[in-house]
Structure 1
Amino acid sequence: MKEDLHDYLVKAREAVLWKVDGVSGYDVRRPLTPTGTNLLGLVKHLTSVEVVYFGVAFDRMPAEPPPWVGVEGEHNADKWAAAEESREYVVDTYRQACLHSDATIGALELNAPAFVAWWPEEHRRTTLHRVLVHVIAECHRHAGHADVVRELVDGEVGEQRRDDFMPPVDRAWWAEYVNRLECVAKEADQG
């Protein structure tokens, strides 16, 4: 069971990472939602998630945690990359955090105790199983954000680089499909 859960986490990580590949330095950073969601910021945030859930919660901090983890400061500091934080740096830092998380997952049993201080009091004492499920859900949620943001950047879609899981249709088909959805939305709104 632990191996299956870990596999789902690895797949979500891979999906997020390929979404930051192949876009310009501007496009990987630019905010595309009213709350500033951007591709590199999603990777940076997921780095924090890996470190706090598989490091802090198990008292197994990496030797060199990312500088933005555990630092009091600006709200959302882990949701965007400063100009001097290269894509390579952010991605490498994420990969290192994932390797540390993988070591924690590998070393512990699913029932190993964890303490998540930022959860509600009644849920703070938990297990690797619960933390793993939580991080899988969070990583997949942000992979979905990355899907949408990447599509807005350059039209690139799909769950995986090798197989996009999209129907084999052309741009004209998609344009007609989107137009049909727009018409249905207007019709439904009018009652």
Structure 2
Amino acid sequence: MAAAKNHLHQCLTWAREEVLPKLDGLDEYDVRRPMTPTGTNLLGLVKHLAFYEASYFGFVFDRPYPEPIPDVDESFQNRDSMWVRPEESRDQVIDDYRSACRHADRTIEALDGDAVGHVPWWGPDAIPLFNVMAHMLGETRQHLGHMDLIREQLDGCVGYDVSPLSDRQQVEFAAQWRRTEEAARIAGGRPAVHENPQV
């Protein structure tokens, strides 16, 4: 169990390291503005992940996070943690995420993988730390996928270091877009389109 727990912790650490670079080079509006009809935005996702790290590795294992976080009760709605108020600074949201991850790491390092906590919103059963770590890894990777798509829509930057596409990559991805669009149109019985409006 110890080796598996350590491996899972390393995977979670790698995933976390990809979160904050998604904000690099963007102004205050672009990191905060809603990019989907449900309001998903980059800085809100960081805030949401900080809340989850603090909740799952604090409250769940009776190792309270030292800073105030929302109560997960009947009135709580997940979307409340996924947007950033004007008076909340980017630096504060980033600091909160880093602090929550450090607190989570202390919990992970202090407990065995089969140590149990209680996640009231999952039901009455006791939940091993290992399961909570796997859940948090899934949450982080899921929201990294959202962040990848948002960043690409904002300025075309892709990848771990959100680098702009090179001229060669732009040509290659334009060809990929055409192949994908053509296949979709054939499958859907729609007329062909030969240009990528995104490029």
- Do the structures match in fold with TM over 0.5? yes
Task: Decide whether the 8 Å contact of 1:19 with 1:146 is kept in 2.
Answer: yes
Q: How does 1:38-187 map to 2 (within 5 A)?
A: 38-66=41-69, 68=70, 70=72, 72=75, 76-121=79-124, 124-158=125-159, 160-161=160-161, 169-187=168-186
Looking at structure 2, the residues matched to 5 and 168 of structure 1 have their Cα atoms a distance apart, in angstroms, of 37
Per-residue CA distance 1:21-54 (angstroms, 9 max, x = gap): 2211111011111111110011011011111110
Q: Measure how far apart 1:70 and its partner are.
A: 4.4
Looking at structure 2, the residues matched to 27 and 95 of structure 1 have their Cα atoms a distance apart, in angstroms, of 21
Looking at structure 1, the residues matched to 120 and 62 of structure 2 have their Cα atoms a distance apart, in angstroms, of 12
Q: Which has the larger radius of gyration?
A: 2
Looking at structure 1, the residues matched to 131 and 76 of structure 2 have their Cα atoms a distance apart, in angstroms, of 29
**RMSD over aligned Cα atoms:** 2.2
99-108 or 75-84: bigger deviation = 75-84
Amino acid at match of 1:184: A
Displaced runs of 4 or more, over 6 A: none
Say if 2:8 is the partner of 1:5. yes
Identity %: 44
Looking at structure 2, the residues matched to 106 and 167 of structure 1 have their Cα atoms a distance apart, in angstroms, of 42
Task: Decide whether the 8 Å contact of 2:114 with 2:130 is kept in 1.
Answer: yes
Q: TM-score, normalised by structure 2?
A: 0.85
Q: TM-score, normalised by structure 1?
A: 0.89
Task: Decide whether the 8 Å contact of 1:51 with 1:65 is kept in 2.
Answer: no
Q: Measure how far apart 1:64 and its partner are.
A: 1.5
In the comparison of the two structures, how many residue pairs are matched?
Answer: 185
Q: Measure how far apart 1:74 and its partner are.
A: 6.5
